[in-house]
Structure 1
Amino acid sequence: MFLVKNSFIRYLIMLLPVLVISCASAPKVTRTEAGEQIDLSGEWNDTDSQIVSAEMIKDALSRAWLEEFVRTKNNKPKIIVGSVLNKSHEHINTETFVKDLQRELINSGRVNFVASKAEREEIREERKDQQTGFTDGSTIKSFGKEIGADFMLNGTINTILDEIKGKRVVYYQVDLELIDIETNNKAWLGQKKIKKLVKRPGIKL
C-alpha cells in the first residue's frame, strides 16, 4: 500500500509541470467592440475593408457621373457589384470586402442596388417554386419583372511587399471601376492605397 501511494505521488509530481505548461499556454480571449481597430499580423483585416469601402464609395458617389445620370434619366442608377479579384500575396476574403461595398452603396440612399448573380438565381428558384400550385395565387410573384442594372462595379486588390531584417513594408492598392453595362463606358475609376510598416519584436533594426 505504501509503495502504491508513493508511486501515485511520484506520478503527480511528474504530471505537475505538464499541467502548469498547459495552463500557461491556454489562450486568453478578450471580447472587444466589433468596430475596434486591432492589428496583429499587419495583414489586410476588417478595418482595412471597412475604411477602403467607405472612402471609395464616398468618392464614387461624389463624381459627375451620378449627377449626370440622375439629370438625364430622372431616376437613381441601379448598380450591381461584380467580382473583386485578389491579386495580392495574401489570402484575402474578398467576399467580406464586396459586402462592405454593397452596404455602403445601399446605405447611401443615392443608388438602387441589384442582387448579385448568385442571389438572383436563388430567388428565381423560389419564384419558380411558387408556380407549382402550392402557393396562394394572390401572393405568387410573376416572372419578367426583374430590374436590370445600369452599372457594374468591379475591382482588384494588389500588394507590393518589401522586407529586410525584421522590418516589413506592405503596400496595398485597391482599384475599382464602375462600368456602364449598356455601353461598356467606364463611368468612374477609383483607387485607394494603404501602406503598413510591420516590425517583428525581438529583432534590432
Structure 2
Amino acid sequence: MVASLLLLQGCATKVAYQGATDVETTSIDFGSTDLQQIAVKMVDSVLSFPPIVQVTNERRPVMFVDKIKNKTTEHIDTESITDTISTRILRSGKFRFVDMDKIAEVSQQMDFQNKSGMVNQNTAAQIGRQIGAEYMMYGNLSSIVKKTKKVKDVYYKFTLKMMHLESGIIEWSDEKEIRKTREKSMFGM
C-alpha cells in the first residue's frame, strides 16, 4: 500500500508560477522568451536610433502598428509581439498611437454620438477631428527549419520597419535573429 502511494506521488504533476520575463524551459518552438527578446531588441533599437531620437526630442509623433506577418509554419500569435512592442514604445513617452484595429468601433460610436439624437451635441466627439498617424510600423516573422534524423535546427528572423507615411521613406529598420537546435538523445527521446 505504501509503495503504491509513493508511486502515485512520484507521478504527480508539479505546477508553479514563474515570472513573466523569466527564461522559459527551452523548446524548439517559438515561445515567450523569444517574444520578450524581440520586443526588447526592437524597442531599444528604434528609441536609440539617432534620427528617431532627434524627432522624439522635439515632439511626440503619432504612429500605428500594422499586423506582423507570420511567415513561419508555426501558429504564432504575432499580435502579442506587436502589443508588447507598442506598449513599450508608448510607455517610453516618445510616441503616441492610433489603433487601426478599432476604427469600426470608433466609427460606430461617432455615428451614435453625432447622428442618433441621443447625445448632447455639446459633449459629443466631433467627426473629422482625429489625428492621422505620421508613421507606420510593420514587419514579419519568418523561419527556416532544417532536419536530419538526429538534429532539428530552427532559425527565426524578425524584421521590423518604420515608414514615414507622407513621404514613404523607411526611417528605421532592424532585425532580431534567433536560432534553436534540438538533438535527439541516443534513446530517441
TM-score, normalization by structure 1: 0.77
Q: Which amino acid aligns with 1:97?
A: I
Deviation digits for residues 21-43 of structure 1 (CA, Å, limit 9, x no counterpart): x9997755333333332135321
Residue 133 of structure 2 corresponds to 149
**CA distance change for structure 1 residues 40 and 26 in 2, over 3 Å: closer, same or farther?**
farther
Distance 2:50 2:106 in 1: 34
State the SS of the aligned residue for 1:139: coil
Residue 4 of structure 2 corresponds to none
Q: Which amino acid aligns with 1:125?
A: Q
Aligned partner of 2:27 among 41, 48, 55: 41
Q: Does 1:99 align with 2:83?
A: yes
Distance 2:148 2:136 in 1: 40
Residue 54 of structure 1 corresponds to 40
Q: Does 1:120 align with 2:103?
A: yes
Q: Does 1:199 align with 2:186?
A: no
CA contact (8 A) 1:66 1:77 kept: no
State the SS of the aligned residue for 2:68: strand
Q: Which amino acid aligns with 1:34?
A: A
Q: Larger Cα Rg: Structure 1 or Structure 2?
A: 1
How many residue pairs match? The answer is: 182
Distance 1:50 1:133 in 2: 47
Q: Tell me the CA shift for residue 87 of structure 1.
A: 0.8
State the SS of the aligned residue for 1:130: helix
CA contact (8 A) 2:39 2:84 kept: yes
- Gaps of at least 5 residues in structure 2 are 1-7
Aligned partner of 2:74 among 83, 86, 90: 90
Q: CA RMSD in A?
A: 2.6
Residue 13 of structure 1 corresponds to none
Deviation digits for residues 47-89 of structure 1 (CA, Å, limit 9, x no counterpart): 2112201211110111132144357xx4222111012111112
State the SS of the aligned residue for 1:83: coil
**Identity among equivalent pairs (%):** 25
More helix by share: 1
Q: Which amino acid aligns with 1:121?
A: A
Distance 1:194 1:95 in 2: 19
Q: Which amino acid aligns with 1:57?
A: V
